[in-house]
Amino acid sequence: MSRRALKTDDEEGFLLAISDELAENRVMFNCHIELTLVPTDKRGRFDIVAKAYKRPRVDDSPPYAIAIYQYPSTTANRLHAAFYRACIRIGGELSRIGPYRPAQDSSSVDESR
């Protein structure tokens, strides 16, 4: 969660909060997150698509989690605020799924636990 109080017009604050949220999710869930702005069929409407990939990412690997946030919306009428909401949403999806842990080779698993 953001370490700072955010106002709707605080663009720099939102950009810093987005960076913080992405970095926190990368560490907590061992993933790579991509944000994409996608136009919709409605004029002036976009989807912000957040995709989390397992690390290390292999080309053409499917996303681990996906979250879509529509812009503009009633809760975010500024683009930077919508990107922040998308980051919060992918974090929520990741927390529901749980942390990704690469499968360990059975010969290297410590059986003493």
Predicted pLDDT at 65: 94
Count the domains in the chain. 1
On whether residue 108 sits in a domain, the answer given is no
Find, among 60, 1, 76, 67, the residue nearest to 33 by Cα.
67
On whether residue 70 sits in a domain, the answer given is yes
On whether residue 110 sits in a domain, the answer given is no
Predicted pLDDT at 110: 43
CATH code where residue 57 lies: 3.30.160
Predicted pLDDT at 56: 73
Per-residue b/e over 3-38, b at no fewer than 16 CB within 10 Å?
eeeeeeebeebbebbbebbbeebeeebbbbbebeee
Predicted pLDDT at 47: 98
pTM score, whole prediction: 0.77
Average pLDDT, consecutive stretches of 10 residues, N- to C-terminus, the chain (113 residues): 60 91 92 95 97 84 93 92 95 87 50 40
On whether residue 1 sits in a domain, the answer given is no
Q: What are the beta bridge partners of residue 54?
A: 31
